[in-house]
Structure 1
Amino acid sequence: MLRGENIYLRPFKLADAAERLQLQERNRAFFEQFSFERSTDFYTLNKQEELIINNEKYAEQDVSYQFGIFKHSDQLIGTIDLFQIQRGSLQSAFIGYFLDKAQNGKGYTTEAAQLVVNYAFEELHLHRIEAGVMPHNIGSIRVLEKVGFHKEGIAKQSVKINGKWEDHQMLAIINPND
């Protein structure tokens, strides 16, 4: 568990599947503005359970780590991931996150991103973390910049979202201890 001042992060457990589904359903239109296309079964309890089981396997294999973002009241308010982890000469990963629309603007995503960056550098010994954000998603870009990410450029038509290839602002942060 990663503890912050206002939130904590922990890997999902099967017992979280129903609450995770509620978070996704409640924010479906909001999240889908910024994410890849989801299968129709994504919004089922069985699929959420399957994703939790798969995420446990991915963490064991050191290829990705997903955490729930919880308020100290134990309310699930979002998810945050380190994914596409590359070892060897790269020692890198991507970061991605979703926060309940009702919780935006309160600093929770910034706090969660800082906790994950610290975990990635201190525990996983990664050298570099990257993020891709749609250029009009100013709030997400600000979150990353507050944590120390720097802009590197625009990846043209890099991710298909809602049937359209979208540009992404690429940002990265380098482990200061390397």
Structure 2
Amino acid sequence: MKLVGEHIYLRLYDDSDAKDLADLHKRNREFFLRVSPLHDESFYTQEHQALRIEQALKKAKEGQTYAFGIFLKETDELIGDITLAQILRGNFESCYTGFALDQKHNGRGYTTEALKLIVKFAFEELKLHRIEAHAMPENLGSIRVLEKAGFKKEGIARKNVKINGKWEDHQIMAIINEGV
């Protein structure tokens, strides 16, 4: 599955992406650490990323999670990832999204483009009603990306996620599919 934008495209990961995904996380380890949970050393290996991809593909087949790589159209370089996770059906028809972009590609609109593509997929293809995202209040870059894609602030989840070893508050943001 491939979702194509102006500068980037999203593609579900496959086995061949494990090395590039491990390299992305190694290269951005310190950068991602400020907004991510702590990972043990195995997380940064090709083997661990291959296992994560295998699990994500299984969950995609079950309609529970869609883990996409963000690739530059011009070079096919993997520059980030974006996920729809914890998909709930029935009376919820909702999910969470999260994203990360290689530090050297920040500020070029790629994450906003990726988020708009994944929202369109979630609403038009999956027929979801709501997508929720959380960002630390001081993570202004991610909050701006979410706002540009149409997400609205809903409140603060206090001490919501353990980031870099410390419980952190998160700004709850969501976008609603008014057509469902």
Distance in 2, matches of 1:29 and 1:176, equals 39
| Aligned equivalent of 1:160 | 162
Give, in angstroms, the shift of residue 39 of structure 1: 2.7
| Aligned equivalent of 1:103 | 105
Give, in angstroms, the shift of residue 101 of structure 1: 0.2
Distance in 2, matches of 1:162 and 1:71, equals 29
Deviating runs (4+, > 6 A) in structure 1? none
Give, in angstroms, the shift of residue 12 of structure 1: 0.8
Distance in 1, matches of 2:58 and 2:91, equals 23
* 2:70 is the counterpart of 1:69: yes
**Contiguous gaps of at least 5 residues in structure 2:** none
TM-score by length of 2: 0.97
Distance in 2, matches of 1:96 and 1:25, equals 19
Report the residue type matching 1:60 in the other structure.
Answer: K
Report the residue type matching 1:28 in the other structure.
Answer: R
2:90 to 83, 88, 91: 88
Within 5 A, what are the aligned runs for 1:125-136? 125-136=127-138
Across the aligned residues of Structure 1 and Structure 2, the Cα RMSD in angstroms comes to: 0.7
Could you say what secondary structure the match of 2:92 adopts?
Answer: coil
Could you say what secondary structure the match of 1:68 adopts?
Answer: strand
Distance in 1, matches of 2:177 and 2:33, equals 31
TM-score by length of 1: 0.98
| Aligned equivalent of 1:47 | 48
* 2:33 is the counterpart of 1:18: no
Report the residue type matching 1:7 in the other structure.
Answer: I
| Aligned equivalent of 2:119 | 117
Give, in angstroms, the shift of residue 45 of structure 1: 1.1
CA offset digits 1:79-102 (Å, max 9, x no partner): 000011111100000010000000
Q: Percent identity?
A: 54
Aligned residues: 178
Give, in angstroms, the shift of residue 22 of structure 1: 0.8
Distance in 2, matches of 1:45 and 1:3, equals 26
Distance in 2, matches of 1:37 and 1:82, equals 21
Give, in angstroms, the shift of residue 13 of structure 1: 1.1
